[in-house]
Amino acid sequence: MAKLVLELLAAALLLHVAATLRISAFNIRTFGDSKMSNQTIANFIVSILAEYDITLVQEVRDADLSSMKKLVSQLNSASSYPYSFLSSIPLGRNSYKEQYVFIYRSDVVSVLESYYYDDGCEPCGTDIFSREPFIVKFSSPTTQLDEFVIVPLHAEPSSAPAEINALADVYTDVINKWETNNIFFMGDFNADCSYVTAEQWPSIRLRSLSSCEWLIPDSADTTVTSTDCAYDRIVACGSALRQAVVYGSAAVNNFQETLRIQNKDLRIPPGRMGTVVLALSLLSTALLCPATATLRIGAFNIQAFGDSKMSDESVAGVIINILRRYDIVLVQEVRDSDLSAVTELLEQLNSVSSSPYDYEISGPLGRDNYKEMYLFVYRTDAVSVVDTYQYEDPQDIFSREPFVLRVSAPHSKAEEFVMVPLHSAPHDAVAEIDALYDVYLAVVNKWGTDNIVFLGDFNADCSYVKQSDWASIRLRSSDVFKWLIPDSTDTTVGKSDCAYDRIVVCGAKLKRSIVPNSAAVYNFQRAFQLEQEEALAVSDHYPVEVKLMA
């Protein structure tokens, strides 16, 4: 992998998922075309940014914003949420200039106002900041504190004490301009070691302001290399903002460990490489905002999922990034009798997600020595499992009879529904899809509900299910069922063009809960810009997905 030279400071707001607001500041050293032209590095950056609702990106050197637009485009492809960005102009005293860029989730926060702090006459040499703060006021209707200000700073190392001290003047300026002192100061302050010594702290006014709290202590190490320096900081000011910060939640999160990046991959040059993630939390209201409450359901046949898939870091990384799109996802073709790969999958998923994941899994299913399991991975703060049962299949029609799940999703319009998985044997696909009608009757009889999602790799196209077969398939011919993935869709990674993977729903309440036009194929090859060989190493199928309304 090319040089990965990232500087990272993240203030992550890690609440209950209902109204979680996660804020980060990420110094990506010399962010521009060279970073985004290396897809491995770009994927790491996207993985980091996808965890946050607001990210301050520093050291952006991208005057035409082409790289930033590419980054946000990839972020929107990889995330189930919409992202936008707001950029400063290039800032600096000479030909070397950087930009501050705020990337934010437009469904949970909005920009109210912004301005540049005027710190004096730059041509005269009387200005204080090398890169004066680009100050932004955000609206966050789902948090306890619904408005706050973020003041960014990437300090010049040689003038760090003076620049940090001058943030006290910025504090006063924001109060005078916007009549609020609920302000975050964050970024790469270069606030330690040779740049800011212990003797200099008493003269730094932002440090002594009683209304402000320094959340990252001087003893912290925010560097990746052998140095031990607390360069990167988060300062919270204002009584309402400080009360909203969860006590003890400011912490270091090493992205190298989180993303399992090997030192051999980093190729770190001498000197400082970068910083780690710093996290804190804001209290939020208990009510969900509509955007965060949308429930995303997926089905993904991960071809021959087991230890070999999870032992390949690149493949595992793509799988993790795909699964984290969903609140509940059916994984098929699991071949992992001791659950070692599933355990590793969940550990990695939970290590990179701010939302907790758990799973339900069937026993090994199959008529002979070849067996597979159905695996449901779900976010426990959005979904709970009410009941499960293994369909008995009295006529032995199914090669892998459905492992049926009844789930509660209290923040979705559907509230409760049943999931019926199917990975059909290709040459028995017609009979197996037809027999899902019998499963439908069994579920209605057992649980008294017809709000059911049938999903999985039905092998429902091309040579396995021909056009002439559809009339004999009850799941297709009955008006009770709505097929969300059309026959014209291609759900395969390779050169074939077949709609093998499907999602079918029934039940009036569930049908009304479907977000219009949300049923789709997730083309992870395009989203992560993989070569076909790299994509096929993950699977020969794309996931299919659908959203339920709040």
Active-site positions read 98, 154
Q: Which helix (H) or strand (E) holds 511?
A: helix 508-513
CB 280 within 8 A of CB 12: yes
Contact 148, 182 (CB under 8 A): yes
**Count of other CB atoms within 10 angstroms of residue 114:** 15
Structure tokens at 383: 């979904």
Q: Is there a contact between 81 and 29 (Cβ–Cβ < 8 Å)?
A: no
Q: Rounded to whole angstroms, what are the CA distances from 247 to 9, 14, 252?
A: 19, 12, 15
The residue assigned the tokens 């800011």 is: 196
CA dihedral angle for residue 263, residue 267, residue 272, residue 276, rounded to 10 degrees: -40
DSSP-assigned states of every residue in 8-43: -B--B----GGG---EEEEEEEEESHHHHHSHHHHH
Please say whether the beta carbons of 510 and 451 come within 8 A: yes
- State how far the Cα of 150 lies from the Cα of 145, in Å rounded to an integer: 13
Q: E-assigned strands of 215-276? A: 232-237, 251-253
Q: Tell me, what amino acid is at 105?
A: R
The DSSP output letter for 399 is S
What is the C-alpha to C-alpha distance for residues 503 and 458, in angstroms, rounded to an integer? 9
* Torsions phi, psi for 445 (to 5 deg): -70, -40
Nearest one of 228, 227, 230, 233 to 271, comparing CA atoms: 227
CA distance 295 to 413: 9
- SS (HEC) of 190-201: CCCCCCCCHHHH
Q: What is the DSSP letter of 521?
A: E
- 3-state SS, 301-313, equals EEEEECHHHHHCH
Nearest to 14 by CA among 248, 325, 220, 346: 248
Task: Classify 157 as helix, strand or coil.
Answer: helix
Quick one: tokens of 309? 């898939």
* Bridge-based pairing state of the strands 277-279 and 251-253: antiparallel
Its sign, for the CA torsion 80, 45, 376, 470, is positive
C-alpha gyration radius of the chain: 26
